[in-house]
């Protein structure tokens, strides 16, 4: 069982241009700090949050109950000029959980409904409900192949195109949610998939993008534990030159 | 004349896994705050900085001399566990400026050269050298069309695919650098282009992505002034239902 | 039972002048953010943290076990250029708990021992061990009396002198720890004291400082709950013109 | 000539308890970040800002014109849930400048006037007007004498009492503004005073507090340059065991 949350800044578009357009760098630093706030809070409870569109932040929130979500909302309301509404849901796959969370949010009102303020809707799972699987992907020798060779924008668009292809494939074929987390790293929240499937994902995406890459796969009681195991898997893959390494999650919360 | 800067975290990949992998949410909050730091500093001098890959941040830095860059580097070194190296260059087009800045950085050493620490290389322009043009794009009725209708991940990948197509087209055909800045917004730094060219860009990208969108175009002595003008243009476009509105930059620094 | 924690930046004095003195505003922003980090983490677990000397931060940490402290240390190590060592202890009074925590820290090494890095020593209490009492003090009509009448520095030193007198009296006579939290507000962590005692504290401190003030006193299972009750008490005192109002803590975590 | 600024959060007291009291740790992190924001902006222009009461922040702002102040105000308004009003003035001494800045602010309305929002009033000096003198004080062997020997609260109150005595003496006798900046450090903005005067200040304050301390004194075109010179003076004092070392400011902005 996966629990997903969508955080959506209330009526943000209109706010950014009222009474007149606000400077872009003010908006960028506001969005970055708001994300850091949410990522810190969720990470502290062994979940993961992803920037995505900045005004819509997606999180994997197994073990966070509705109280915790509301506490985060209240704390944001006390420290930022904007409020966030929250949709939460549980699903058999990451895709299903997020679809549910998005539906909960929409049921609370439009993103530009100026009467919707800091609502929180949805279902949360029992703290013990199941495990999370994380696939941590990165590009083989990205520094040599890309960063030290092409200009910064070409590297960026190459990585984005690879990420986009990977994310859409994982979403459509494997009910997974993949997020770019900087550098040449992609973190995907997946249902249980076997080793062969990961090899197949790599083959298909590499053939379309001409970018060779690896994955470490971890499983654990929380996203954090699964993610740490995945990172260790990726390290092992680099050292032993394997494209897919699967690792069980750390039994204790290794920080 | 455009002046571009690449900020690159020194030896970041190895740092993230030494002595063992660091928790992803710690890395995400670190990257977000580092970006906010750079965006605040650059924005304060009427430039723009873009997150891009997080460990490689691209900025348009007309009017920032080498001293200012070094002051920012020193300040980061005093407050973060990592250092950043800097490449700066000036070019006739945004693409050329960034290519030069990237070359300056590479000449200083590899992104994973553990002896390269907080270097700063490159050429800066006179403060009065020329004007900047900003195109601010957004999707028509994105809230109705996307946010309030699809799930958060589908919206995100739709926006990313539209952005990717737009960015590559502007880069390859028009020497421009386009960046996703959250929501359904894309900010592009462009050479002088006429109104017809913008209409053509919209037509080509819409035909490939099926996403209708608008642009406000502003010109000014600094990126901030050009960007504010572009935002006003975009607002006018929404109100009058025009796909392209071009506006001269504000003569005074409108904050 | 009170549990107190001292966070001490390791070898900070030497760091601030190595290789040469670092700019004061860089140090100030570093210290502010480090404090905000710790206050956010502790506050999130219903404890309180106080800036005190910036490089030595005092916290009331009932319900935070050693794991939680170590997680915070690790997270700081991942995001700041400095590390912090931690001493924790439990006592019958706030003063005794802090004395123990300070002793634990000193036993781990000097504040300027360059081999002491991110140590964590001490005893933590059971999560259910007892209650916390918070006294929230502020000056009667401080805005009229001070802020709107004197210059900013005179107000500041008046408030500091009042705070200093109050804090020393509470520490020496009532085993309490009082902290200035901004404006004209002082938050004290106290053992159980009766209403008469608070009236006596106010009389003695007012007679020495000529500053009339009030207090709301709250009790609760956590510092946060006791503190919220104390704030409500202070509000009631303002409305009903009473100098001391004692309130029981909220049964549920009111955020 | 000294230019001082008071930043005052508008109607902050009422905001902190509306609609009901806000959690203390949310207020503390808000105040810390707001201060860090202001300190970063001012520091970036070679001025100094001091936390003082958190809702009233005092800054030395030589070289910042009214435009710069308004830009900072606008940026805060775009990113925080509160606004700040600003009073600025110029004086022959730091005390006179701050008195003027405070008067400007009061003339704009009460700190709890809910119709006063982000006002900015006052006079600014020419960028070239005169020099700033900074005295940087610290306690002799504070680590051995205090931090490694007493409990964290006793050290804190000892330092606060020393600071208070020093600050009031400098203010009343020498028209100076002294601020505690963490650890055992005090930064004072002074008019030109001779070496004998500093020795006399140390003697008088030590005799009242039993705390021996040193000072480095620097002079420069900006507060930052004077402050860096003062820090170098303090280092020299430690190395050569002198209580007062006076140094000329660095001619170039040493970051």
Q: pLDDT digits over B22-51, tens only?
A: 999 999 999 999 999 999 999 999 999 999
What subunits make at least 3 CB pairs under 8 angstroms with C? A, B, D
Q: What is the pLDDT of residue A253?
A: 44
Across the interface, whether the CB atoms of A148 and B110 are under 8 A apart is answered yes
- Residues of A within 8 A of B147 (CB-CB) are 8, 56, 110-111
A97 part of contact set with chain B, CB < 8 Å = no
Q: What is the mean pLDDT of chain B?
A: 94
Across the interface, whether the CB atoms of A253 and C71 are under 8 A apart is answered yes
C157 part of contact set with chain B, CB < 8 Å = no
Chain B and chain C share a number of CB contacts under 8 A equal to: 38
A72 part of contact set with chain B, CB < 8 Å = no
D118 part of contact set with chain A, CB < 8 Å = no
Q: Which residue of C has its CA nearest to B75?
A: C26
Query: Are A55 and B152 in contact, with CB atoms under 8 Å apart?
Result: no
Give the domains, in start order, of chain D with CATH numbers. Answer: 2-122 (3.30.70.1230), 132-248 (3.30.70.270)
Does pLDDT of D254 surpass 50? no
A67 part of contact set with chain C, CB < 8 Å = yes
Q: Phi then psi for A42, rounded to 5 degrees? A: -70, -40
According to DSSP, residue D22 is labeled: P
According to DSSP, residue B21 is labeled: P
Query: Are A61 and A4 in contact, with CB atoms under 8 Å apart?
Result: yes
Q: Give me B136's structure tokens.
A: 């601010």
CA distance D129 to chain C (A): 22
β D177-180/C244-248 pair status? unpaired
Instruction: Give the DSSP H/E element, type plus range, for residue A167.
Output: helix A152-174
- D218: β partners: D134, D247
- Residues of D within 8 A of B251 (CB-CB) are none
Nearest to B155 by CA among B169, B179, B139: B139
Q: Which residue of B has its CA nearest to C77?
A: B81
Helix (H, G, I), strand (E, B) or coil at C215: strand
Query: Tokens 């506050």, residue?
Result: C43
Query: Are B44 and D64 in contact, with CB atoms under 8 Å apart?
Result: no
CA distance B16 to chain C (A): 9
Across the interface, whether the CB atoms of A227 and B23 are under 8 A apart is answered yes
Does pLDDT of D195 surpass 70? yes
Q: Which residue of A has its CA nearest to C254?
A: A71
Mean pLDDT in residue range A164-181: 98
Q: What is the mean pLDDT of chain D?
A: 94
What subunits make at least 3 CB pairs under 8 angstroms with B? A, C, D
* pLDDT band of A249, cuts 50, 70, 90: low
Q: What is the pLDDT of residue D249?
A: 63
| Rounded-to-integer distance, Cα B178 and Cα B186, Å | 7
Query: Tokens 């080793």, residue?
Result: A195
| Rounded-to-integer distance, Cα A27 and Cα C53, Å | 33
- Residues of D within 8 A of C239 (CB-CB) are none
B75 part of contact set with chain D, CB < 8 Å = yes
Q: What is the pLDDT of residue B253?
A: 45
Provide CB contacts within 8 A for A16, sequence distance 6+.
Answer: A22, A27
CA distance D80 to chain A (A): 5
CA distance B194 to chain A (A): 24
Cis peptide before A19 (omega within 30 of 0): yes
Mean pLDDT in residue range D107-131: 89
Across the interface, whether the CB atoms of C77 and B81 are under 8 A apart is answered yes
Query: Are D88 and D107 in contact, with CB atoms under 8 Å apart?
Result: no
- Residues of D within 8 A of B120 (CB-CB) are none
* pLDDT band of D127, cuts 50, 70, 90: confident
Across the interface, whether the CB atoms of A75 and C253 are under 8 A apart is answered no
Q: What is the pLDDT of residue B249?
A: 64
What subunits make at least 3 CB pairs under 8 angstroms with D? A, B, C
Query: Tokens 């420069």, residue?
Result: D220
Sign for the pseudo-dihedral over CA of D113, D119, D122, D125: positive
Does pLDDT of B156 surpass 50? yes
Q: Give me B137's structure tokens.
A: 């794009």
- Residues of D within 8 A of B79 (CB-CB) are none
C239 part of contact set with chain D, CB < 8 Å = no
Q: Which residue of B has its CA nearest to C33?
A: B79
Does pLDDT of B167 surpass 90? yes
Does pLDDT of C149 surpass 60? yes
Mean pLDDT in residue range B80-102: 97
CA distance B82 to chain A (A): 15
| Rounded-to-integer distance, Cα D186 and Cα D201, Å | 14
Share of chain B above pLDDT 70, in %: 97
D253 part of contact set with chain B, CB < 8 Å = yes
| From C44, C70, C255, residue closest to A70, measured CB to CB | C255
D210 part of contact set with chain B, CB < 8 Å = no
| From D40, D99, D110, residue closest to C29, measured CB to CB | D40
* pLDDT band of B126, cuts 50, 70, 90: confident
Does pLDDT of C250 surpass 80? no
Task: Summarize pLDDT for D37-63 with one digit per residue, the tens.
Answer: 999 999 999 999 999 999 999 999 999
Task: Summarize pLDDT for D86-103 with one digit per residue, the tens.
Answer: 999 999 999 999 999 999
Across the interface, whether the CB atoms of A183 and B13 are under 8 A apart is answered yes
Sign for the pseudo-dihedral over CA of A91, A97, A99, A101: positive
Q: What is the pLDDT of residue D255?
A: 41
Q: What is the pLDDT of residue A126?
A: 83
- B48: β partners: B60
β B56-60/B48-50 pair status? antiparallel
* Residue ranges of C 9-38 with Cβ closer than 8 A to chain B: 22-23, 26-27, 29-30, 33
CA distance B66 to chain D (A): 13
**Residue A140 CB-density burial (10 A; 0-12 exposed, 13-18 middle, 19+ buried):** middle
Q: What is the pLDDT of residue D253?
A: 44
C252 part of contact set with chain B, CB < 8 Å = no
- Residues of D within 8 A of A29 (CB-CB) are 79
| Rounded-to-integer distance, Cα B169 and Cα B176, Å | 9
CA distance D40 to chain B (A): 9
B80 part of contact set with chain A, CB < 8 Å = no
Q: What is the pLDDT of residue A255?
A: 41
Q: Phi then psi for A54, rounded to 5 degrees? A: 80, -50
Q: Give me A4's structure tokens.
A: 């997903």
Cis peptide before D154 (omega within 30 of 0): no
Across the interface, whether the CB atoms of D29 and A77 are under 8 A apart is answered no
β C213-220/C244-248 pair status? parallel
Query: Are B78 and C30 in contact, with CB atoms under 8 Å apart?
Result: yes
Query: Are B81 and B16 in contact, with CB atoms under 8 Å apart?
Result: no
CA distance B67 to chain C (A): 15
In chain D, how long is the greatest CA-to-CA distance? 58
Q: Which residue of A has its CA nearest to D25?
A: A75
Q: Which residue of B has its CA nearest to C18?
A: B78
| Rounded-to-integer distance, Cα B81 and Cα A181, Å | 19
- Residue ranges in A20-93 assigned as alpha helix (H): 24-44, 66-79
* pLDDT band of D129, cuts 50, 70, 90: confident
């Amino acid at each position: 069982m996966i629990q997903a949350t969508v955080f959506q800044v209330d009526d943000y578009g209109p706010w950014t241009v009222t009474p007149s357009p606000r400077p872009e760098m003010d908006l960028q630093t506001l969005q970055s700090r708001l994300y850091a706030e949410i990522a810190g809070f969720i990470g502290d409870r062994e979940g993961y949050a992803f920037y995505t569109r900045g005004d819509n932040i997606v999180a994997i929130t197994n073990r966070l109950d509705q109280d915790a979500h509301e506490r985060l909302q209240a704390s944001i309301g006390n420290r930022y000029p904007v409020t966030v509404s929250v949709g939460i849901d549980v699903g058999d796959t990451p895709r299903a959980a997020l679809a549910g969370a998005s539906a909960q949010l929409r049921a609370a009102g439009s993103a530009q409904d100026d009467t919707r303020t800091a609502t929180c809707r949805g279902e949360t799972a029992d703290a013990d409900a199941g495990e999370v699987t994380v696939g941590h992907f990165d590009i083989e020798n990205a520094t040599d192949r890309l960063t030290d060779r092409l200009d910064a924008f070409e590297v960026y668009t190459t990585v984005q195109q690879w990420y986009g292809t990977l994310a859409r494939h994982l979403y459509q074929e494997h009910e997974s949610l993949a997020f770019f987390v900087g550098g040449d790293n992609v973190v995907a929240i997946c249902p249980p998939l076997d080793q062969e499937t990961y090899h197949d994902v790599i083959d298909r995406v590499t053939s379309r993008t001409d970018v060779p890459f690896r994955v470490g796969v971890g499983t654990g009681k929380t996203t954090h534990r699964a993610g740490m195991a995945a990172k260790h898997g990726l390290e092992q893959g680099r050292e032993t030159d394997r494209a897919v390494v699967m690792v069980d999650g750390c039994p204790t919360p290794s920080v």
